Amino acid sequence: MNVRFEKLYEETKAAVMRYVSAHCYSITDIDDLFQDTYLAVYKSMQSLTEPIQSSEAYVIGVAKKVLARHYSAVRRLRAQIDVSLDRRSGRGLAEETADSVDVEKLAGDRELLDEIFELVTVMPVTVQRAFYMHYVLEMSFAEVGNELDLSEAAVRQRVARALTEIRRLYKRREQL
For position 39, what pLDDT does the model report? 94
> DSSP characters for 102-162?
--PPP--HHHHHHHHHHHHHTS-HHHHHHHHHHHTS---HHHHHHHHT--HHHHHHHHHHH
Residues 6+ away with beta carbon under 8 Å from 172: none
Task: Tell the burial category of 102 from Cβ atoms under 10 Å away from its Cβ (0-12, 13-18, 19+).
Answer: exposed
Domain boundary among the residues 92, 114, 143 is at: 92
For position 88, what pLDDT does the model report? 44
> Do 29 and 2 sit in the same domain of this protein?
yes
Domain boundary among the residues 33, 63, 92 is at: 92
| Total domains in the fold of the chain | 2
> Do 53 and 124 sit in the same domain of this protein?
no
> Do 82 and 4 sit in the same domain of this protein?
yes
> Do 49 and 69 sit in the same domain of this protein?
yes
Domain boundary among the residues 92, 113, 144 is at: 92
Residues 6+ away with beta carbon under 8 Å from 100: none
Range of the domain at 163: 101-176
- Tell me, what amino acid is at 109? D
Each residue's pLDDT tens digit in the chain (176 positions)?
Answer: 688 899 999 999 999 999 999 988 888 889 999 999 999 999 998 888 888 899 999 999 999 999 888 877 656 555 544 444 444 444 433 343 333 333 333 334 566 667 778 888 889 999 999 988 988 888 999 999 999 999 999 999 999 988 888 888 777 766 66
SS (H, E, C) 2-63: HHHHHHHHHHHHHHHHHHHHHHCCCHHHHHHHHHHHHHHHHHHHCCCCCCCCCHHHHHHHHH
For position 24, what pLDDT does the model report? 84
| pTM summary value | 0.63
> Do 17 and 52 sit in the same domain of this protein?
yes
> Do 63 and 107 sit in the same domain of this protein?
no
